[in-house]
Chain A
């Protein structure tokens, strides 16, 4: 490590979202009422380019907070507005919130975005963009994907139905292109201007036992054709596939991560690309660790890949031995500092770490 800071949140979070002004947002997902949404100001150590060892302020400050009656499983800020959207069980409706940090430190609840709720629907996955207007893309199933305009609550797009599978993630590749990932691993592309068609991506290698998949897309790579960035998919068995969206008939790469099996389920599976390191991605959700891989050396053989770094901090933290070992619930990369990541675990810990590249590469 070059640096490691550990913090303890009052309640564990399963999301870490970046907001304007380098703010970080976390939220509770416990079953009972009284989950808090916290918008935090990271310590100056995270904001400056060079790492300072001892610094006047090493702590996160709670800038503002809100109270959610339901567990918060997903949260996305709506760009260019002071709103954010959350979702969580028991249904697929969305909650909208107003953040006005200058006036008060309470994140206020604004009226929700309702959706039709058939039985058996789980919580909605969400993505936001503000191109033509502030939009939120949401849905819990492949046949329930829609885009709602946040301020007017108008529905501006409904995706053609490609099946009723559960979604594990969705994203805006650009202001017209959507990428949908199902828990079965199926990847679909859609164009907002053509609501009737859904383009299939490469499906994943079929497996003897059922596994669940999630995806990671590269955000914010400026000036590049969005569909030229490979999409990573991670399965609950540790399989990783990279797909180039322009050539969806084959995999760019296929590898296997060394993860414990049987896995702990797909609840917290998370894969993300490093914004500032070419070809680096991180995975978590199998145990108390976060793995970082360099995919540039990967091929399509499906061989086991060696991580270039493993963060084990969460497994060692906390009151040793009491109850289940903590499970990493989410991780995210720092947007500017190339090798800094934030990760959170089920015991409420929040780590900020900066790793040293072995062999001086990258």
Chain B
């Protein structure tokens, strides 16, 4: 995604050899191929099924799922697509709605069809919150509540002991109909967080709502009509609850309408997925269904011509077609009326034009529409700000953080803030950039009891706070790792132990006979090495522990004797010590 723009979210993660695609969004600002993510990053030719282990969709906003049918049916992907139950129910509706407008109204040709949407949804596997789903033997995923819109989830992707958490869009403060995002201390290696509002200090919700209600009230009081174009799902429910409560409190009589069709289904879905809404709604649901409004009725096209004040919620949200545009055209000429845009409008739509200040619009058939009604904008979108992002990081305790945002240079402060407070690395890649995050995978190894007992008996007593160094042989067989003693390893593998023996020659000046030199050496060593067992054998050789020393004559020089010092590999230390000791020479006065 690109900053505060409604971008196309699509992130590829490679973890322990698995490839996962996170979201598959559409950019609604473009009318050509730029509206879809560029899948050639994965492969230049053909279908993507072999390259991806799964696809995860965080929520139903089109900038996160809009390109899904294009991706699965037109580019080609047959693997599993994971999303939550509400997302699965609502996605196809929004996709179909958007398809209808793009193809039927705008006459585009290179777009997915209704059948493609249906085929795409057949590949979807719905998941529950906090349910661990095994994608295959090694890859598992789990969804967490994200707030933001109905069904939005944050996903944890885990392979072995490496994991990534992707937040999608989330909100850390609860609102009227949804709770706040929550995650446990799952300590992922990487947390990928959206940072749309990271550099914003938001006006309090109360002020926003107060101003919104004030505007609506003022318009209705003077007999005007208020049009609120909304997407079927999302903020519309929030505003409905807000108006309903206000109407009740102020005992207002003007009618509020919610346009039919898509929106009936919307309220139906909210009732269906009641467990996804916030606690207050769930608690009061028994007494009174929050989505069963007393003051809000279903709209009929004919009502638009009724005299007198009214408030109408109509779809679609950017006034680009359909009922909201029809109503707008009817009401635009009267300055007593008002239109309140509750969200972002893509360039090219009527919504965008009037928000930019245009007051004369060209409609079909060259008709000019003069807009005299008041135009207002109100943003109620629910995203986490800097404080919210810090809160989420504190909850999840990731080892590193990745912020998805367009302008890297403007995020340096937040990056430093995260790095300083949590001592983790923070990445901010640009679109198209690859970030590599190093992880320390843990490899579990079984240690044989015998080895453990033996090793702990050697050296200092084990200390719970200090790591203890142990020696053993690592056997890797059939995906299992075991640490055993060398002897056991040899036995299991049917190998014999090699005996390594070193022999070193030390030259000594001594004209006497070998056995006399031998005796000298014996006495010398006996005197020095008091803690060791020094023996003089009948054949003239000397042993120090298991090391053998023999005195032989030099082949050419009578005055020189050669001491052969020989030891096994295990006695390396003592052997080297003896050799250097003997190299220093023998004391002169010995019998």
List chain A positions with a Cβ less than 8 A from chain B.
Answer: 4-10, 34, 36, 40, 43, 53-56, 58-67, 103-106, 350
Contact = CB atoms under 8 A, between A and B. Distances in A.
Contacts of A66: 413
Contact of B412 (A6, A55, A56, A104): A104
A66 B376 CA distance: 36
Contacts of B417: 36, 65, 67
B421 A34 contact: yes
B204 A6 contact: yes
A345 to B, nearest CB: 13
A204 B276 CA distance: 64
Contacts of B409: 103-105
Contacts of B355: 56
B430 to A, nearest CB: 16
B412 A105 contact: yes
5 contacts: A43-B203, A54-B215, A56-B377, A62-B200, A105-B411
Given A6-B207, A53-B215, A105-B410, A40 B201 contact: yes
Given A59-B202, A62-B386, A105-B410, 10 more contacts: A6-B204, A54-B378, A56-B355, A58-B202, A58-B207, A59-B197, A65-B413, A67-B416, A104-B412, A105-B412
Interface of B: 197, 199-204, 206-208, 211-212, 214-215, 340, 355, 376-379, 386-387, 390, 409-413, 416-417, 420-421
Interface of A is mostly: strand
Q: Which of B355, B413, B416 counts the most chain A CB atoms within 10 A?
A: B413
Q: Which of A36, A58, A60 counts the most chain B CB atoms within 10 A?
A: A58
Nearest to A45: B203
Contacts of B203: 5-7, 43, 58-59
A10 B386 contact: yes
Contacts of A34: 420-421
Nearest to A10: B387
Contact of A5 (B200, B207, B377): B207
Nearest to B198: A62
B95 to A, nearest CB: 28
Contacts of A53: 211, 214-215, 376
Contacts, number: 79
Contacts of A54: 211-212, 215, 340, 376-378
A271 B421 CA distance: 36
Contact of B204 (A8, A65, A67): A8
A63 B420 CA distance: 19
Contact of A60 (B201, B211, B413, B416): B201
A64 to B, nearest CB: 6
B390 to A, nearest CB: 8
Contacts of B411: 105
Nearest to B342: A54
Contacts of A58: 202-203, 207-208, 379
A8 B204 CA distance: 7
A58 B341 CA distance: 14
B211 A105 contact: no
B376 A7 contact: no
Given A105-B409, A105-B412, A61 B200 contact: yes
Nearest to A107: B413
A53 B201 CA distance: 18
Contacts of B386: 10, 62
A4 B207 contact: yes
Nearest to B375: A54
Contact of B201 (A55, A62, A106): A62
Contacts of A8: 201, 204
B207 A59 contact: no
A63 B201 CA distance: 11
Nearest to B204: A6
Contacts of A36: 417
A322 to B, nearest CB: 17
Contacts of B376: 53-54
A4 B207 CA distance: 7
B201 A7 contact: yes
The 9 A-B residue pairs with the shortest CB-CB distance in the complex, in nearest-first order: A60-B201, A65-B413, A54-B376, A58-B203, A6-B204, A62-B199, A105-B413, A59-B200, A54-B378
